[in-house]
C-alpha cells in the first residue's frame, strides 16, 4: 500500500531570518547548510546519512522534534535545495523538547538512492510500539519503523510511504550492491532483540521477509539476556562486512549500557551465507557462545567496547576500529592469516568518523578528536605500516567554543568519488537542542548563504519568549505541518 504523505508544493519550515539577523549580510556564506538539525541528528550507526547520485549529494537527518528531513547539494550548479520535511516521526512529542533526556534519538533516518534516482528513507522507531503487537525476533519498544520514498526521482519535495518492511526495528542501515540489490539491516526491537536484515531486488519497492543474523536469548542468569550492537557495510564485490560488540542486557535496576568484546564476519551475497574471517561458513543466527567460538576478534574482559566502522582493502580484507575503555579508539586489520595487534590511533581517544583504505598497508581515518579543552577537530589520521604507528594529518574543521563537545559525524557520503566528504553536526548553543548541519570536503565546509541556511531564528525567538517546557510547536512549524494531509491522503 502506498500512502501519500504530502504534495509537491510543500515547502517545509523555510523561515525568513531577515527580521532577526542584525549586523550580518543576508548574502554572507556560512559553514552549514541548515541549523535545524535536532539533538543527535546523525550518527554512524544509522547509515548512510548521505549519498551522491548524478551530480547531487542527498542528505537525511533528524530535524525538529525527531522528524525526518532531507537536504540536497548540486555539485554542478553549487546550489542547495531544502531542507524539506520528509516524514513525521511516530516518536515526536506534542511540543519540541528542550531537554535531550526527553528525546529518544533512535529514530533518525538512514537513506539510499535507488538505480532510478528515487530517494529512500527508513526512520521512526526504537523497537516499535507494543500496541502494534509482538514479534518473535525481539522486544517491542517505541515508535514505528517507516519506509518512505521520494514521489519523483531526484526530488526531495514530496514523499510517499511504502508499507513493505517490518514496523519493529531501530539502528537502520542500508547496504546497496553494485547490481542495485539492497539490504536493510537493523535491530528488530529494543535491547532484547535479534539483529536481522530484509532484502530487496526491485529498488526497494518490495522487501523479502526478515532474516535473523545475531540471536538474543536469556542467559544462564535469567535476569540477563544476550544482546548486540552491530555495524554493516559493503565489502569487496558482492560481500557485506559486519563488526559487532556484545551487550549483556540486565533487568532494571542493574541495566547498563555496557558493551564488551569485538567480533567480525562477512556475508557472501551470492547465497546470503555468512563466513568468519577465516572463510568458514557460519550457522545463523549466531548465539553468543557460537560467536565467541567462531567470530571473536578480542575478548575484552571487564573493559567496555563499542562499535566503530569497517572498510576493506583490495584483497577484501577488513580494516576496522572499535572503541575501548573510556572512548579509546583502537584500529586493527586482517592480514590474511591473523588480526594485527590493536593500536591506539590518537592519544586522547576519539570520536565518530570513517575509514579510507588506500592499500593493504596504508589507511586514513577521518575522525573527530579533542586536542584541548573546549576544542574539537575534524581531521585526518594516517598509517603507512598497517596500523603500527599513526600520524596526524590535515585538520578540516575546528571548533573552539563551548559548543565543541556537540560535534558528531555520519559516515562518508556514499558513492562520492573524491576523498573525505562527510556530514557534520554541531551544537548551535548550550541553551537548545538544535544543530548546525555541514557538508565537509577536503577543503572544509561547503558554503551556503546565511539567509538560506538559517532556519530556526523565529523558533528560538518564540522559545525564548515562553517559560521552559511551555513552548509548543506553533507558528511557522504548525503552519508547515498543517499542509501534510496524513489523515486524508491524496487518492
Cis previous bond, 407, omega within 30: no
Query: Residue 458 belongs to what H/E stretch?
Result: helix 457-464
- As annotated, the active-site residues are 106, 171
- Residue 381, strand partner residues: 365, 392
Report which of 385, 390, 378 is spatially closest to residue 438, judged by C-alpha positions. 378
Distance CA 121, CA 118 (A): 10
Element (H, E) at 219: none
- The answer to whether the beta carbons of residues 272 and 282 sit under 8 Å apart is no
CB 29 within 8 A of CB 449: yes
Residues found in the chain: 491
Cβ pair 35, 69 in contact under 8 A: no
Whether 415 and 53 have beta carbons less than 8 Å apart is answered as yes
d(CA 65, CA 434): 10
Exposed, middle or buried, 279 (CB in 10 Å: 0-12/13-18/19+)? exposed
Q: Answer yes or no: are the C-beta atoms of 38 and 434 closer than 8 Å.
A: yes
Cell of 20: 532577526
List 248's β-bridge partners, or say none. 226
Q: Which of 433, 434, 435 is nearest to 424 (CA)?
A: 435
Helix (H) / strand (E) containing 481: helix 475-481
- The beta strands (E) that lie in 177-223 are given as 182-187, 195-200, 211-214, 217-218
H-type helices in 163-320, by residue range?
288-294
- How far is 333 from 307, CA to CA, in rounded Å? 15
Residue 195 contacts by C-beta under 8 Å, 6 or more apart in sequence? Answer: 185, 186, 187, 188, 212, 213, 214, 228, 230, 244
SS3 of 212-261: the string is EEECCEECCCCCEEEEEEEEEEECCCCEEEEEEEEEEEECCCCCCCCCEE
Rounded Cα distance between 265 and 277, Å, is: 6
* β 448-449/29-30 pair status: antiparallel
Return left, alpha or beta for 270; rule: phi > 0 is left, psi -120 to 50 is alpha, else beta.
Answer: alpha
Amino acid at each position: 500500500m502506498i500512502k501519500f504523505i504530502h504534495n509537491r508544493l510543500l515547502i517545509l519550515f523555510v523561515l525568513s531570518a531577515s527580521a532577526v539577523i542584525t549586523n550580518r549580510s543576508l548574502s554572507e556564506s556560512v559553514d552549514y547548510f541548515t541549523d535545524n538539525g535536532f539533538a543527535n541528528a546523525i550518527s554512524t550507526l544509522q547509515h548512510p546519512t548521505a549519498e551522491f547520485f548524478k551530480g547531487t549529494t542527498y542528505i537525511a537527518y533528524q530535524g525538529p522534534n525527531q522528524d525526518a528531513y532531507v537536504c540536497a547539494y548540486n555539485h554542478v550548479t553549487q546550489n542547495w535545495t531544502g531542507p524539506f520535511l520528509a516524514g513525521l516521526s511516530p516518536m515526536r512529542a506534542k511540543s519540541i523538547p528542550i531537554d535531550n533526556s526527553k528525546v529518544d534519538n533512535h529514530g533518525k533516518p538512514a537513506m539510499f538512492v535507488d538505480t532510478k534516482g528515487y530517494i529512500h528513507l527508513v526512520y521512526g522507531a526504537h523497537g516499535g510500539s507494543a500496541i502494534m503487537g509482538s514479534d518473535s525476533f525481539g522486544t517491542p519498544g517505541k515508535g514505528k519503523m517507516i519506509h518512505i520514498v521520494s514521489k519523483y526521482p531526484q526530488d526531495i519535495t514530496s514523499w510517499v510511504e511504502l508499507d513493505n518492511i517490518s514496523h519493529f526495528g531501530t539502528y537502520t542501515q542500508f547496504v546497496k550492491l553494485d547490481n542495485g540489490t539492497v539490504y536493510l539491516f537493523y535491530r528488530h526491537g529494543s535491547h532484547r532483540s535479534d539483529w536481522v536484515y530484509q532484502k530487496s531486488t526491485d529498488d526497494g519497492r518490495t522487501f523479502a521477509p526478515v532474516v535473523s543474523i545475531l540471536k538474543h536469548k536469556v542467559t544462564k542468569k535469567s535476569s540477563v539476556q544476550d544482546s548486540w550492537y552491530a555495524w554493516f557495510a559493503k565489502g569487496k564485490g558482492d560481500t557485506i562486512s559486519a563488526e559487532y560488540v556484545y551487550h549483556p542486557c540486565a533487568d532494571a535496576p542493574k541495566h547498563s549500557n555496557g558493551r564488551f568484546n569485538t567480533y567480525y564476519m562477512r556475508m557472501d551475497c551470492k547465497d546470503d551465507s555468512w563466513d568468519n574471517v577465516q572463510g568458514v561458513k557460519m550457522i545463523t543466527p549466531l548465539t553468543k557462545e557460537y560467536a565467541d567460538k567462531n567470530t571473536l576478534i578480542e575478548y575484552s574482559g571487564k573493559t567496555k567496547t563499542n562499535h566503530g566502522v569497517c572498510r576493506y582493502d583490495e584483497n577484501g580484507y577488513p580494516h576496522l576500529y572499535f572503541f575501548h575503555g573510556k572512548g579509546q579508539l583502537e584500529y586493527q586489520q586482517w592480514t590474511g592469516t591473523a588480526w594485527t595487534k590493536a593500536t591506539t590511533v590518537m592519544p586522547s581517544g576519539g570520536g565518530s568518523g570513517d575509514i579510507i583504505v588506500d592499500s593493504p598497508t596504508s589507511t586514513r581515518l577521518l575522525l573527530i578528536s579533542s586536542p584541548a579543552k573546549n576544542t574539537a577537530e575534524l581531521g585526518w589520521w594516517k598509517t603507512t605500516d598497517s596500523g603500527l604507528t599513526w600520524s596526524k594529518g590535515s585538520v578540516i574543521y575546528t571548533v573552539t567554543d563551548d559548543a565543541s563537545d556537540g560535534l558528531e559525524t555520519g559516515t562518508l557520503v556514499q558513492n562520492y568519488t573524491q576523498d573525505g566528504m562527510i556530514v557534520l553536526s554541531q551544537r548551535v548553543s548550550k541553551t537548545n537542542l538544535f544543530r548546525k548541519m555541514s557538508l565537509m570536503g577536503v577543503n572544509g565546509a561547503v558554503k551556503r548563504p546565511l539567509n538560506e541556511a538559517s532556519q530556526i531564528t523565529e523558533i528560538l525567538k518564540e522559545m525564548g519568549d515562553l517559560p521552559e517546557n511551555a513552548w509548543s510547536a506553533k507558528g511557522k512549524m504548525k503552519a508547515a505541518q498543517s499542509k501534510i494531509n496524513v489523515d486524508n491522503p491524496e487518492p
